Structure 1
Amino acid sequence: MSNLPNTELVNFEALARDGDMSRRNELAQNVAALFSLTSESCSDEQMRIYDSVLHRLSEMVETQAREFMARQLASLRRAPEQTVRRLADDEIGVARPLLERSTVLRDRDLVQIAESKGDDHRLAIAAREVLSKLVTDVLVKTGSAGVQRAVAANEGASLSRAGVDRLLEASGLDEELQLALAGRGDLGEADIAALASFASERVRVRLFGGTGKDGEDGLPKAARIAAQRLSNDYWLKRYDFETAMGRVKALARGEGIDEGTLLRFIDEDRFAEVVATFSILGDIGLEEAMHWMVRIDTDPFLIVARACGLASETVQKLLAIGPWRYRLPDEQRERAVTRYRTLNAKSARLLLDQWRGRIAC
């Protein structure tokens, strides 16, 4: 007796008996296309069904069909997680669009793929619009010179201290990597001086003399791109908060939610679920939680967290997840934690009550 699931979309028992691969390919493509058209309106239950069906189909079809599925899912804000992870770990022709664009993939997924796959997969990851230090550290450490150049040239890639040092060391005889580093807007003065000490004349011109285009060099351009990413809306549109809130409300109705729920979602790198949980714990509404956990000014978040009685260690972890992972410098994060420890819980609760009153009006 087959244990393949049957749904309203696909009868897997019949499909398994049918040896016609072209029919399987066509079916998988049709289901993926249908989902791409309806993803924003799918309920949580429909999303689970699509995920189960698409994941099972991805294991029954040829490369061409999987490539089509990946292209359909790559740019969706709401996409079936299990299927996306399976296809992102596939051969590069399938994986590339997801590795380059899918916001469903979390850092732990990207790290696992970067460590287990080859440079083609790493280059696709390096092309993502935003990369955390956790991911770039792995790319710079495990990747070839081409991967290192791609990371250095990506203005949306955050670099750790170790990452910058490794790239500077690797750029000694690599002018292309030197040029990529010279075009970044986030190098410190000491890093720029170190690069200039061994860089070619062409790179020194890029660093200090400008490129001659519109009177601007690469540093202001990189800074402008970085400034664009300071927009709250830029970050908010990357996450599926609606589905996350549905999951968290179901948890709240069942086993309940508490600070431990926050910590579990932090550990799983599920920012949208973290925001949804925080909004319920703080009784502030999803919209407010979304904006207060993205903005550079962390005071509203800190006041709600203190009113909820969250531990300092939890707040420290919250300040390092989602957009704050990219937007908050380490020094600012440390100052926020220090400020949190000085906040008076009673005053925070009174202020939060006032905010709730304004929101209700």
Structure 2
Amino acid sequence: MLDKLEAIARQHSPEKRGELLLAITDVVIRHGLGSPELESAYADIVRTLLKVASDDDKSNFARRVAPHNVLPHDLAMSLAQDELEVARDILRLSPKLGENELVAIVKNNPDDYRLAVAQRETLTASVTSLLVELGGLPVKRAVGRNHGAKITAAMMAKLVALADSDEALCQALAQRMDVPPDLAEKLVQSVARLVKARMVAGLRPKVEPVEAAPAPEVRSLSIKELQAAVASGKMTVDQAITTMAEEDRTNDLAAFIAQHAGLDDMQVMRVLVRADAAGIVMVIRGLGLSAETWAKVVALRARRLKLSQTQIRFEREDFVKLEEEKAKTTLDEFRHRKVAGMR
């Protein structure tokens, strides 16, 4: 394998550098690095190719490698502070970034980078406190939505106070289980007041021009309507998922899949938008859905994550390679863990 890596590194074709970078990384991800010699060779090759890679090639590489523990620490830090399109998935997903690294990144980078950090699966209280202190409203909302983020009582009080005038943050905090009782009472009052204000605003009559012709109504089916259609047999699960995927309704899609898979909404949302498709492909395959439906989900992921054509092809191939019975067994295990955790 070392000979192959060294031969690839000697390639000089500029248009092939991005493909080479992804090809090497796919081999490493699939087969691992079994020795310090291979780890060193891979690191040297990546450093060499990244120096001459285009922005698009670097972005594609970062998306592919982000969830995996193969990057040398210095390269992970370098990519995490590169252009945002390169850094975003490293900041969200890389296991190479520990608490100290994240603290430094949050302190020394603008809000777009902080927002990506706020979307990590788990966050320590130290990182979360910095995000709340230094981040703007979108960052604070992301922290509120992140159930894997540990929030100190002091930072929670700041978020609850801000939520009194921000409905999105208010709704996010209302779904958390770690809000102290005294703050939860304030939050309930804020929710009630904001919802009432929105309802009153919605009742105000709209002034339409007298000569305006009525526009034809084009309305997407709500998630409740889609669920009802599936329950009544008017629509298949495949059709409902295809509809939401084509309309880029990521949140509704995650909730719908979670219901049919017997999983938590946030759990499905995380794997749906994660750069590594292993989790969501297992869920879709485990539900017995079609390759055509998976292709629609991949298309949504491609638009959201800006996947390359190579990545799209890999994700479609991964669906075919995954045995349906194996996926169903794994999905059943996840369900049992969830039920056990609720007891």
TM-score normalised by the chain length of structure 2: 0.51
How far 1:14 moved relative to its partner? 6.6
Whether 1:109 and 2:97 are equivalent positions in the alignment is no
Whether 1:118 and 2:114 are equivalent positions in the alignment is no
Structure 2 equivalent of residue 148 of structure 1: 140
Contact in 2 for aligned 1:73/1:84 (Cα 8 Å):
no
How far 1:137 moved relative to its partner? 1.1
How far 1:122 moved relative to its partner? 1.7
Matches within 5 A, 1:73-112: 73-112=65-104
Cα deviation, 1:57-112, whole Å, max 9, x if unaligned, reads 22221111111211221222444322222212211211222222222211122222
Read off the aligned partner of 2:114 and give its amino acid letter: R
Structure 1 equivalent of residue 151 of structure 2: 159
What is the CA–CA distance in structure 2 between the aligned matches of 1:188 and 1:80, rounded to whole Å?
A: 40
What is the CA–CA distance in structure 1 between the aligned matches of 2:154 and 2:35, rounded to whole Å?
A: 43
How far 1:8 moved relative to its partner? 7.0
Cα deviation, 1:301-332, whole Å, max 9, x if unaligned, reads xxxxxxxxxxxxxxxxxxxxxxxxxxxxxxxx
Whether 1:200 and 2:192 are equivalent positions in the alignment is yes
Q: Which secondary structure does the structure 1 equivalent of 2:164 belong to?
A: helix
Whether 1:35 and 2:28 are equivalent positions in the alignment is yes
Matches within 5 A, 1:313-324: none
Whether 1:9 and 2:5 are equivalent positions in the alignment is yes
How far 1:12 moved relative to its partner? 11
> Identity, % of aligned pairs?
30
How far 1:129 moved relative to its partner? 1.1
Structure 1 equivalent of residue 129 of structure 2: 137
Q: Which secondary structure does the structure 2 equivalent of 1:111 belong to?
A: helix
Closer, same or farther in 2 for the Cα pair 1:38/1:89, shift >3 Å? farther
What is the CA–CA distance in structure 2 between the aligned matches of 1:114 and 1:77, rounded to whole Å?
A: 21
Read off the aligned partner of 2:101 and give its amino acid letter: D
How far 1:174 moved relative to its partner? 0.7
Deviates more, 1:50-59 or 1:85-94: 50-59
How far 1:192 moved relative to its partner? 0.8
What is the CA–CA distance in structure 1 between the aligned matches of 2:29 and 2:63, rounded to whole Å?
A: 10
What is the CA–CA distance in structure 2 between the aligned matches of 1:9 and 1:62, rounded to whole Å?
A: 20
| 2:61 counterpart (60, 66, 69) | 69
How far 1:114 moved relative to its partner? 2.0
Closer, same or farther in 2 for the Cα pair 1:112/1:12, shift >3 Å? farther
Closer, same or farther in 2 for the Cα pair 1:201/1:172, shift >3 Å? closer
Closer, same or farther in 2 for the Cα pair 1:14/1:55, shift >3 Å? closer
Q: Which secondary structure does the structure 2 equivalent of 1:146 belong to?
A: helix
Matches within 5 A, 1:234-245: none
What is the CA–CA distance in structure 1 between the aligned matches of 2:71 and 2:192, rounded to whole Å?
A: 46
What is the CA–CA distance in structure 2 between the aligned matches of 1:119 and 1:103, rounded to whole Å?
A: 21
Deviates more, 1:158-167 or 1:181-190: 158-167
How far 1:142 moved relative to its partner? 1.5
Closer, same or farther in 2 for the Cα pair 1:203/1:141, shift >3 Å? farther
| 2:43 counterpart (37, 48, 51) | 51
Structure 2 equivalent of residue 218 of structure 1: none
What is the CA–CA distance in structure 2 between the aligned matches of 1:199 and 1:13, rounded to whole Å?
A: 58
Matches within 5 A, 1:156-195: 156-195=148-187
What is the CA–CA distance in structure 2 between the aligned matches of 1:130 and 1:153, rounded to whole Å?
A: 12
Matches within 5 A, 1:306-317: none
Closer, same or farther in 2 for the Cα pair 1:95/1:196, shift >3 Å? same
What is the CA–CA distance in structure 2 between the aligned matches of 1:122 and 1:13, rounded to whole Å?
A: 34
Cα deviation, 1:155-210, whole Å, max 9, x if unaligned, reads 11110123212212322311111111111100111111232344434669xxxxxx
What is the CA–CA distance in structure 1 between the aligned matches of 2:89 and 2:178, rounded to whole Å?
A: 27
CA RMSD of aligned residues (A): 3.4
Unaligned runs of 5+ in 2: 197-223, 225-262, 268-343
Q: Which secondary structure does the structure 1 equivalent of 2:120 belong to?
A: coil
Unaligned runs of 5+ in 1: 1-6, 205-212, 214-223, 229-361
How far 1:53 moved relative to its partner? 2.4
Q: Which secondary structure does the structure 2 equivalent of 1:99 belong to?
A: helix
What is the CA–CA distance in structure 1 between the aligned matches of 2:99 and 2:195, rounded to whole Å?
A: 32
Read off the aligned partner of 2:5 and give its amino acid letter: L
How far 1:11 moved relative to its partner? 7.7
TM-score normalised by the chain length of structure 1: 0.49
Matches within 5 A, 1:246-261: none
Q: Which secondary structure does the structure 1 equivalent of 2:123 belong to?
A: coil
Read off the aligned partner of 1:87 and give its amino acid letter: L
Closer, same or farther in 2 for the Cα pair 1:99/1:127, shift >3 Å? same
How far 1:126 moved relative to its partner? 1.4
How far 1:34 moved relative to its partner? 2.5
